[in-house]
């Protein structure tokens, strides 16, 4: 029997790269559908869900800036990429019968709703899955920070951050055979040990607002992570 998780409302951070599947770039439809089915599984447990989607599968500001484009301009392009991903995921979720709203930090009212905090909360109360697009709306940030910010604004109980491995390790487990996985970490430990699970501004924001972060493997269904059947690392305040 599946244990019912204790979470009422969760934030899921989906990186842009998670949408690529085996492709080197862009959006793989089968992968989008798999992620959507996975989210539906969590929704069916009675949890309110919101998502922040990245844009790295299409455009990453920092790498373009390194090749001579003005950083702020490149970052705005990166934020626009997240809107495309959000629409793809919305379409995927609708296939599974979920009601969704894409809300953008950069208003583009012909395409999706602008972000209004109370309205987004209301959507979730009505059972809609809310997808936050365009990051924070500001250059020089990442979608990890956007996910943390929105998770706090929405009053989420936890933020889930999917990665290539099943939690946070002492070193890169793909390169270092001695790397060990942590079950639990404090925000301070992540920052002090420079464990690169999310950027430091996202971790600091989570710490200052005491939102726990569950780091898990994207190959595991979200439901198994929430019920504790799949391994993960929880980052939270120390006892
Ligand atoms: N971005 C930004 N401000 C934000 C969020 C994102 O400028 O608040 C830009 C930034 O250029 C970033 C790109 O959008 O490189 C895509 O986001 P991110 O790299 O976080 O996506 P992910 O790694 O999750 O796919």
Q: What is the pLDDT of residue 104?
A: 98
pLDDT per residue as tens digits for the range 135-171: 999 999 999 999 999 999 999 999 999 998 999 999 9
Structural tokens at position 190: 């992540």
**Arithmetic mean of pLDDT, 222-230:** 95
Triad 215, 148, 63: Cα angle to 5°: 85
What gap in Å lies between CA 232 and CA 218, rounded to an integer?
11
ipTM over 0.95: yes
pLDDT per residue as tens digits for the range 44-57: 999 999 999 999 99
CA of 138 to the centre of ligand 1 (A): 10
Strand order in the sheet with 232-235: 113-114, 100-104, 129-133, 48-53, 9-14, 158-163, 213-217, 232-235, 184-185
| CATH T-level fold of 9-235 | Carbamate kinase (3.40.1160)
Q: Where are any strands of DSSP class E within 146-227?
A: 158-163, 184-185, 213-217
Radius of gyration, CA atoms only, the chain: 17
Q: What is the pLDDT of residue 239?
A: 75
**Arithmetic mean of pLDDT, 205-219:** 97
Give residue ranges with CB within 6 A of ligand 1. Answer: 15-17, 54-56, 60-62, 74-75, 78-79, 81-82, 135-136, 138-139, 141-144, 146
Where does the pLDDT of residue 2 fall: very low under 50, low under 70, confident under 90, or very high at 90 and above? low
| Domain locations along the chain | 9-235
Where does the pLDDT of residue 121 fall: very low under 50, low under 70, confident under 90, or very high at 90 and above? very high
What gap in Å lies between CA 153 and CA 155, rounded to an integer?
6
| pLDDT of 65 over the 90 cut | no
Q: Which of 12, 70, 78, 162 to mutate to test the pocket of ligand 1 (most atoms within 8 A of CB)?
A: 78
**Quick check: pTM over 0.90?**
yes
Is 15 exposed, middle or buried (CB count within 10 Å of its CB: 0-12, 13-18, 19+)? buried
CA of 59 to the centre of ligand 1 (A): 8
């Amino acid at each position: 029997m599946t244990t019912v998780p204790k979470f009422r409302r969760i934030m899921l951070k989906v990186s842009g790269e998670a949408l690529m599947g085996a492709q080197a770039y862009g959006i793989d439809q089968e992968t989008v559908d798999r992620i959507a089915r996975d989210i539906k599984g969590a929704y069916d447990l009675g949890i309110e869900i919101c998502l922040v989607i990245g844009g790295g599968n299409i455009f990453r500001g920092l790498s373009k800036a390194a090749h001579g484009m003005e950083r702020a301009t490149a970052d705005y392009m990166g934020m626009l990429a997240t809107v495309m991903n959000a629409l793809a995921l919305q379409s995927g979720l609708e296939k599974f019968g979920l009601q969704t709203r894409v809300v953008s930090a950069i208003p583009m009212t012909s395409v999706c709703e602008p972000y209004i905090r109370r309205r987004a909360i209301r959507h979730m109360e009505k059972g809609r899955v809310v997808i936050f697009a365009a990051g924070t709306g500001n250059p020089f940030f990442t979608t990890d920070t956007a996910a943390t910010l929105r998770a706090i604004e929405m009053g989420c109980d936890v933020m889930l951050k999917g990665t290539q491995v099943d939690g946070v390790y002492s070193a890169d487990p793909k390169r270092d055979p001695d790397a060990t996985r942590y079950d639990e970490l404090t925000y301070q430990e992540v920052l002090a040990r420079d464990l690169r699970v999310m950027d430091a501004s996202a971790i600091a924001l989570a710490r200052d607002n005491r939102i726990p972060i569950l780091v898990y493997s994207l190959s595991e269904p979200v439901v198994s992570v929430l019920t504790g059947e799949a391994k993960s690392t929880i980052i939270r305040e120390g006892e």
